[in-house]
Structure 1
């Protein structure tokens, strides 16, 4: 049997994380408010979009906040954002929508456990002027055990993206959000400079996690912290370049996960020992044994 036949694939590891590896830190990272506190402590020199207000009842949002450019969102899910700018908003509609979001559990359909314990909260955040159409809007760095595997850069305003390796060299291949070749984001010096900066910062925010994605927001002047993503694309991420997934698989050592670092009893101990043996078989070195030893 070849190594490729034995090795746990990226999507298998992500499914294992959803079902088995319930690291409490995942809840911190998935909670948008708690993640901001973690980022501020781990990397105080990195700018964050300011939180202008947070609470459990959107009706309590100070009316004056609607006069500026803000983003209204909830902390316990994805794609639940309202962008307020360019005129008086419909307060009633915003309150109604956010109340629906607060009542809505997130992550159940795809088994994203880390969302479930979060206490839903609404927050008002400053709206950054992102560099869409000029540089990019987002830089997302995939990190395994402190090693940057690749970087995904997207321009949400221009519907374009580009991939980089850990040395900020462009990579071939497309992603599912921008799959066409004519959606390749042009590379310029300012973008590469930002990518290099993100590559330098991301491992500081990733702690010693076996795999995590660190997101940054891009303005014309500087990088801002974005989110810390536990379940990239809900665990279904794909790339047309197979080397992208293989690089993650090379460096994502699940024997370094929170689950494998903890002591277990009974059937769980037998399972953890069998999984460690599988990891040793896949990687063929003593590093897995050392990382998987119990405290």
Structure 2
């Protein structure tokens, strides 16, 4: 059993178990992620995952520049924009609040996440400062709310920065956010459209399919041509873990999606802008500044340099 599974089991056992798990978690984070500098950890992780040395002195490829930005680009605006609650203000001011997913509830007190404070329709409960910390609630009468509160309490203690040295997460004030669940006509979670923007300009769009099953990914240009390359984590044989999937119908509002993405991306050297589209209605998803942690790779690999050349190097310190 992994250390994370052991910690999870302990924290759900009792109130004392929660604090014991929290101490274990902090010791684990300290020994694994905080004894070395950010630069050391990033270079080591890059070598382990990508399989080559990381050039931080003169970065040229996209993967190298994403790592460089973790250390050298500390624009306060990305703190707001990486915060799943605070980014709503940036989106409303930049493209309009009509593109925001309806906000149901938010709190910094895990005990307030309970049935009587939430609506009867399907909702999504998530932390504003992490990734992968989410509960999908379709019927609140079937939910174990003590277990959900335990998770929310745990999330509020996490600092996502330590795991991959993405600077912006270190300074986000933790909060629990509840939004209306977006669903397709069949009740399923809709696919999202991830638009990669370089120096404020759209370059390619990513559609992920079957994220909770067999994960596939298609990449498209601004005319909805399927691009002849992949952008994915690689397996041991250097093959993409998320190859192309089934054909995806072109969204009717593709031009608008690109325009909205470029408006949101304008201040940044590189950012991925995510949207959901339901019955031609567009909803903002999130802004991601270090896609895949900077470890996903292009196949063919030459495209890493091609797209890296589109990302300017801008130092920004606070």
Residues 157-206 of structure 1, C-alpha deviation per residue, up to 9 Å, x if partnerless? 6733210123432202234377465x513132xx3434433212101111
Q: Which residue of 2 aligns with 1:184?
A: 245
Q: Which residue of 1 aligns with 2:155?
A: 101
Q: Which residue of 2 aligns with 1:139?
A: 193
Q: 1:244 Cα deviation (Å)?
A: 4.5
Q: 1:37 Cα deviation (Å)?
A: 1.3
Q: Which residue of 2 aligns with 1:85?
A: 138
Q: Secondary structure at the match of 1:72?
A: strand
Q: Which residue of 1 aligns with 2:101?
A: 49
Residues 22-48 of structure 1, C-alpha deviation per residue, up to 9 Å, x if partnerless? 111110111111111111110016521
User: Runs of 5+ in structure 1 lacking a partner?
Assistant: 1-5, 263-295
User: Runs of 5+ in structure 2 lacking a partner?
Assistant: 1-57, 234-239
1:75–1:123 Cα contact (<8 Å) kept? yes
Q: Which residue of 1 aligns with 2:32?
A: none
In angstroms, what is the RMSD of aligned CA positions? 2.6
In structure 2, which of residues 44, 60, 64 is the aligned counterpart of residue 12 of structure 1? 64
1:67–1:88 Cα contact (<8 Å) kept? no
Q: 1:107 Cα deviation (Å)?
A: 2.2
Matches within 5 A, 1:1-295: 8-44=60-96, 46-61=98-113, 63-64=115-116, 65=118, 67-86=120-139, 87-130=141-184, 137-155=191-209, 156=211, 159-176=215-232, 179=241, 181=243, 183-188=244-249, 191-242=250-301, 244-255=303-314, 258=316
Aligned pair in 2 of structure 1 residues 128, 146: CA closer, same or farther (>3 Å)?
same
Q: 1:11 Cα deviation (Å)?
A: 1.8
Q: 1:149 Cα deviation (Å)?
A: 1.6
Q: TM-score, normalised by structure 1?
A: 0.76
Question: Across the two proteins, how many residue pairs are aligned to each other?
Answer: 251
Q: TM-score, normalised by structure 2?
A: 0.71
Q: Bigger CA drift: 88-97 or 245-254? A: 245-254
Q: Secondary structure at the match of 1:116?
A: helix
1:70–1:125 Cα contact (<8 Å) kept? yes
Q: Distance in 1 between matches of 2:310 and 2:98?
A: 26
Q: Bigger CA drift: 58-67 or 213-222? A: 58-67
Aligned pair in 2 of structure 1 residues 230, 95: CA closer, same or farther (>3 Å)?
same
1:66–1:84 Cα contact (<8 Å) kept? no
Q: 1:258 Cα deviation (Å)?
A: 3.8
Residues 121-159 of structure 1, C-alpha deviation per residue, up to 9 Å, x if partnerless? 011111001478999611011111221121111233673
Q: Which residue of 1 aligns with 2:50?
A: none
Q: Distance in 2 between matches of 1:148 and 1:132?
A: 31
Q: Secondary structure at the match of 2:86?
A: helix
1:137–1:219 Cα contact (<8 Å) kept? no
